[in-house]
Every structure is written in C-alpha cells, then in structure tokens.
C-alpha cells in the first residue's frame, strides 16, 4: 500500500444509522468502490467536498479511531436524492485499506498528537494543516507521517 497521496482526513459515519453495528463500513472490502457522503445542508459543504483531487487519499475516522483509507476516483461532486437530503452529495472513492480488527482499530492518537479532538462535522481536512499533526510531525513531516502510517497500518 503506497500512501504518498495521503493528504486528507474526514469523519465518517453511517448515512442511515442502524442498531446492528456501531461502525460504518464494517463490510467494506479493499478494492471496493463506495460513496463517501458529505453533509450538505443548504449547499454549504459543496466547496469542501471538491477539495480532494482525483487520486488523493483520505483517512476516514470514527469514534477516535482510523477505520479506512480511501482513494478519490473522480474530480466531481455527485448528487443523489435521499430521504435525508442534508447528505445529498458524495465523492466516489475506492477502499485501499480497512481495519481487520473492528474490536480494536488503530487510535488516531498513534498518528497525531495525543488527546487530539477532530471536528465531527464530516468535512475533509488537509492533514498537513492540522494543529495536532504539526505538534506531532512538525511543519515538513508529511512524508515521514505517510511512511510511519503505512508501517503501522500493516498491523491492523
């Protein structure tokens, strides 16, 4: 798994919450194409959804852990009608890594500053601009971070 295009992180949650599982994407498989939705109430998140470019990678987080890494497959925002219209835009992505231990996925604190609290708003954030990233990895540490993450995720 090559992570040189890893540039983003995003909170990830079920579009339709069920009682069967705490986790989103437990059945996702490596290589599978999925829809990564954005909350888009009053069209306010379209700009954010356009930020990742085709081929770039996004860490998906849930409940303070990393559960997926996905590759953006297109340069456009897709729309769909849902009964929850606030989650009506998505990007097509491919799963390139998914945890194999849903009882103990890797904590975000392994990779970012300890005790970091990411916004749970579902927006995508550029990793190198995050204060928690800079605290742990310094201004120019993105490549180091990518290599470290690659090694650590092989454990999961």
E strand spans, the chain? 6-11, 33-38, 57-62, 65-72, 78-79, 89-98, 124-126
Pairing of strands 57-62, 6-11: parallel
Judge whether 1 lies within some domain. no
CA-based R_g, the chain, Å: 15
Judge whether 119 lies within some domain. yes
Sign of CA dihedral 46, 51, 55, 61: negative
The residue count for the chain: 156
Judge whether 72 lies within some domain. yes
Judge whether 10 lies within some domain. yes
Number of structural domains in the chain: 1
pLDDT of residue 22: 77
Could you read off the pLDDT of 104-148 as tens digits, one per residue? Answer: 898 888 887 666 677 778 899 999 988 888 888 887 789 999 999
Could you read off the pLDDT of 28-64 as tens digits, one per residue? Answer: 899 999 999 988 877 788 999 999 999 999 999 988 8
Whether the full predicted model's pTM is greater than 0.95, yes or no, is no
Range of the domain at 33: 6-153
pLDDT of residue 5: 97
Look up the CATH number of the domain holding residue 67: 3.10.590
């Amino acid at each position: 798994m090559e992570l040189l295009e890893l540039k983003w992180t995003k909170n990830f949650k079920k579009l339709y919450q069920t009682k069967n599982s705490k986790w989103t994407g437990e059945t996702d498989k490596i290589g599978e194409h999925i829809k990564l939705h954005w909350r888009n109430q009053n069209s306010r998140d379209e700009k954010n959804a356009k930020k990742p470019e085709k081929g770039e990678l996004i860490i998906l987080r849930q409940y303070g852990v990393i559960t997926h890494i996905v590759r953006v497959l297109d340069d456009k925002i897709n729309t769909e009608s849902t009964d929850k219209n606030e989650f009506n835009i998505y990007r097509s992505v491919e799963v390139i890594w998914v945890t194999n231990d849903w009882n103990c996925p890797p904590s975000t604190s392994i990779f970012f500053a300890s005790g970091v609290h990411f916004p749970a708003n579902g927006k995508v954030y550029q990793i190198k601009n995050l204060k928690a990233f800079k605290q742990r990895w310094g201004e120019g540490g993105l490549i180091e971070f990518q290599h470290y993450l690659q090694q650590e995720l092989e454990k999961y």
